[in-house]
Amino acid sequence: MEYKLLREKYAKFIYHNYKIEEDSQNIYLKYFFEIEGLAQFHPVLTILKKNFEIHDLYSDISKNIVFNIGMIEAISYFKATCSKYFCVKCGILNQEQINWYKKLIYLGLGEFRYINQIQETQDNFVQIFSEGTDFKPQEYKKELKDVMIPIGGGKDSNVTLELLKDSPYKRFGFRINLEEVSEKCAETAGLTNDEIIEVKRKMDPNLLQLNQNGFLNGHTPFSAMVAFVTYFVAIIFHKKYIVLSNEDSANESNIKGQNINHQYSKTIEFENDFRNYVTNFICPNGPEYFSMLRPISEIQIAKLFSQLEAYHLIFKSCNIGSKSKPWKWCCNCAKCLFPYIILSPFLEKEKLTDIFGEDLFENQKLLQTFIELCGYAENKPFECVGTYQEVRYAVSETIRKTKTQLPFLLQYYQDHFELIDCDLLNQYNENHNLPKEFDEILKRKLFEC
């Protein structure tokens, strides 16, 4: 549907309220949104209690975080019409917070805006008004301990799980809508079911109906949701560190010359913004949020992961394949081709075909995706993939080590593009938030391999 018509016809999005409820097994975060004149929405987040000791569930800090989770959850519903006015009825946001959310909504919906051809400035995209509870940042009074690691099922979080296996902190996994793959990865890492913090996210069916009816739809900053939800869980379960697995490569834009990044909420920019937000507006001494892999690139992560053989036949990152049972690689998308490429310098073809089911370098249907990943097209695929340079490096190294006839995609690269030779495996970006002890763990493992 036409963006300008929708935002004029449905000019007001309302965040009415939130509730924290519980029973013997679960904690429920309930939200109440409305696109005035169109639909109401009541999404729910369910946190499984298991055997965790819970404190401060109804504290002012917890209410403040739950309110802010609602601001993130609301983006999925707001985007159906991109209403001009975002009206918050259950909490006051000061001007600095409003600007923070305007930036997140604008950049977090960058891919969405590009796909839907929305031409707006950050300042004009949405106007936010607020009233209600005036939340104040508060000191946290309890002792925090342990690390919590979001597990996605891909290679990156598995590397983090292994890096922290021998750390002095007890590891806990975290997952929103636990999948079979992430469960198997956690088991392989030695985590029991009681050491996985599970959250179930239920979307309101009214949004799904709007999507089917042609209202605006597209990618949202899911990792921003993960940030606030993990922060809430860390508060009520007393976890000291929230350890992400976002890498340096996530900072590269998908569109050349434009700041449009499928992975915006995985960037160092968002990580820094989030850390500042929770410190200034929620809790100055609360859990610490950072990415363990931020100093390194996808090619370095691939080298580390290539040595974790126990995960090779388990890990998955294909979105299409996730819809099948069991989860499998579809072998026809960027989320399959990229890990195949990035692992190819470190694993032999036989091993790669065991993992993926076929030699993706022989898949001629992937040629355009291959060209895009290599950076010889206007766009990079809108997926969580690495930089152009490291894709070219991986391809170049694999061509050099291949002693037999090159498969289709590698032959195409050799015929049309230049091989590159650079030292990507020994780089380390010091622009990160790792506490000293975590920094030392990563450097020790990276440079001993």
232 and 365 in one domain? no
Q: How many domains does the structure of the chain reveal?
A: 2
Q: Are residues 70 and 204 in the same domain?
A: yes
Residue 449 has a pLDDT of: 52
For residues 408 and 390, give the distance between their C-alpha atoms in angstroms, rounded to a whole number.
Answer: 20
Mean pLDDT of the residues in the chain: 95
Q: Could you write out the DSSP letters of every residue in 263-314?
A: TGGGSHHHHHHHHHHHHHHT-TTS-EEEETTTTS-HHHHHHHHHT-GGGTTT
- Domain with 241 in it: 3-291
Per-residue pLDDT of the chain (449 residues; tens, 9 = 90+): 799 999 999 999 999 999 999 999 999 999 999 999 999 999 999 999 999 999 899 999 999 999 999 999 999 999 999 999 999 999 999 999 999 999 999 999 999 999 999 999 999 999 999 999 999 999 998 889 999 999 988 999 999 999 999 899 999 999 999 788 999 999 999 999 999 999 999 999 999 999 999 999 999 999 999 999 999 999 999 999 999 999 998 888 888 888 888 889 999 999 999 999 999 999 999 999 999 999 999 999 999 999 999 999 999 988 887 777 777 899 999 999 999 999 999 999 999 999 999 999 999 999 999 999 999 998 898 888 889 999 999 999 999 999 899 999 999 999 999 999 898 999 999 999 999 999 999 999 998 75
SS3 324: coil
Asked if residue 197 is part of any domain, the answer here is yes
The verdict on 186 and 325 lying in the same domain is no
266 and 148 share one domain:
yes
| Residue 296 covered by a domain | no
Do 185 and 86 lie in one domain? The reply is yes
Does residue 52 sit in the same domain as residue 110? Answer: yes
- Give the tens place of pLDDT for each residue, 366-418: 999 999 999 999 889 888 888 999 999 999 999 999 989 999 999 999 999 99
Residue keyed to tokens 């010359």: 257
Domain boundary among 256, 291, 326: 291
Residue 328 CB-density burial (10 A; 0-12 exposed, 13-18 middle, 19+ buried): middle
Residue 123 and residue 102 in contact, taking contact as beta carbons nearer than 8 Å = yes
Q: Is residue 301 part of a domain?
A: no
**Inter-helix orientation angle 388-401/408-416, to 10°:** 110
**pLDDT tens for residues 119-134?**
999 999 999 999 999 9
